[in-house]
Each structure stands twice: as structure tokens, then as C-alpha cells.
Amino acid sequence: MNPKAVSHVALLCLSLPAAAAFSTHRKIFADASASSRRSITKCQASSNDENNNDNNNNDNNNNEPAAAQTDQDKSGTNNPLRLAVLKLGLTELKWTSPLNYEKRAGVYSCANCGTVLFDSKGKYDSGSGWPSFWKTADADRVAYKKEWDGRMECTCKKCKGHLGHAFPDGPRRIDLSEELLEAVPADDLNTSDPKNVYTRLPRYCVNGASLKFQER
């Protein structure tokens, strides 16, 4: 065998494992894509018209049959950013939500199920780049879950949509009037000693994409 032929054979031998690995990689990627497509389709199937602001009083959960879910879906969303935040728990880029800059009086509802979650009365500028609140709109609106890294996740209590996180570095109690402090719902996250005026209220750091604002 001449030297040129030897080098071709060697090249072929070297290429075979690489080709096999590439083929395996393609298969894994194709499987992942198919799985991802299925998830997205599922999210979209559990949503509906973005502009439908109807509040939904149906308390169906995910264990119920598909026919029952159709009613619940009427107040959902097809907006990809909202879905990424609400359903997958992703975080929007800071400073990007128009609601971070919203100063008008009004209410902030869950973009998925329409439940009123926060009020402009509890909103403040935390400087974090995300819409921030020191209290929820009313009792029984937000659920909490401690994450693996210690952060406290906040979700919509009704539809389980991801909202953001609560941190213990909100406004100081002494900087708020007694009237405002009395308006804090009883089941709001207690991040410090309520008897000490120098301790802080929670900071609900919320993705604007998970909320819809309605002016009063």
C-alpha cells in the first residue's frame, strides 16, 4: 500500500468514532428537541388568548381531565415570555419590564389566572430592576416555597404560576405609617420582628411578565 493510501485509511479509521459520536449527539439532540417541543405544546395547550382578562373562578387543577382544563385555560396566556416565567420559572431580564416603572394607582393581577396579587399601595422602587412590592394585595393570594439555594419562591396561590422571590430586605417598618402597616395581610411573609420598627418588611421581587396591570 502506498503512503497516500495508508494516510487515507488512517484518516477513515480516525473519522469513524467521531462520526459515530456525532450521530449519537444528533440523536440525543433530536430527542431533547422533541421533548422540548412536547413541553411547549403542553404549555400552549393549557393557555389561551393573551388579551382575555376574564377572571376565572374555576379551581380545577392539573389532575383533572382535559375537558375540565379547557374552562380554566380561558384566562391563560400564549405570550412566550409570560409562559417562560409563569410555567417554567424563568426570570426576565432586569430593567426590561414596563411594570418596573409603573407609578399609577391600580392593581397587579396574575397574567395567567387573573387573581389580583399586588396593589400599587404596596409597590415601591427597590432599585433591583424588577417590580417590587412590600405587601400582597390581600390574604391568600401568594404561596411560598423555599428553594434549594435558600431563596423563597413566590407563586400565584390559585394557579401555581411562578411570580418571583421574596427577600427580607424590603422597606423598614419605621418608614411606613401605622395605617399602611395595618393593611399588611396576616399571611404575608414575616421576614423580621414585627414589634421592632427598625426591622424590614419583605421585598416581593416579581417578574413583570407574570403580572397584568389595571389602572384604578
Enzyme catalytic residues: 205
Contact segment (CB under 5 A) with Zn ion among 30-38, 72-80, 148-156, 200-208 equals 148-156
User: Residue 203 CB, nearest distance to Zn ion (Å)?
Assistant: 21
- Asked whether 129 and 199 are in contact (CB, 8 A), the reply is no
47, 75, 112, 210: which one binds Zn ion (CB under 5 A): 112
**All 3 cell numbers of residue 49?**
388568548
Place of cell 399571611: 187
Task: Check binding of 205 to Zn ion (CB under 5 A).
Answer: no
Q: Which three cell numbers stand for residue 136?
A: 400582597
Closest CA to 48 of 19, 96, 24, 83: 83
85 is a site residue for Zn ion (CB under 5 A): no
Q: Which one, 87 or 200, has the nearer CB to Zn ion?
A: 87
Distance of CA 3 to the CA centre of its chain: 63
Contact 76, 16 (CB under 8 A): no
Least Cβ distance, residue 23 to Zn ion (angstroms): 44
CB-wise, 157 or 203, nearer to Zn ion?
A: 157
Nearer to Zn ion, 72 or 191 (CB): 72
Question: Which of 113, 163, 201, 211 forms a contact with Zn ion (CB under 5 A)?
Answer: 113
Between residues 176 and 209, which has the closer beta carbon with respect to Zn ion?
A: 209
Helix (H) or strand (E) holding 203: strand 203-206
163 binding Zn ion? (CB under 5 A): no
The SS3 assignment for 106 reads: strand
How many Å is the Cα radius of gyration of the chain?
24
Under rule CB under 5 A, residue 142 binds Zn ion:
no
Q: Which amino acid is at 197?
A: V
Site residue total, Zn ion (CB under 5 A): 8
Query: Residue 156, interface with Zn ion (CB under 5 A)?
Result: yes
Q: How far is the CB of 161 from Zn ion (least distance, A)?
A: 5
| Distance, CA of 162 to CA of 77 (rounded, Å) | 13
Kindly list the residues in this chain that would bind Zn ion in the complex (CB under 5 A): 110, 112-113, 115, 156, 158-159, 161
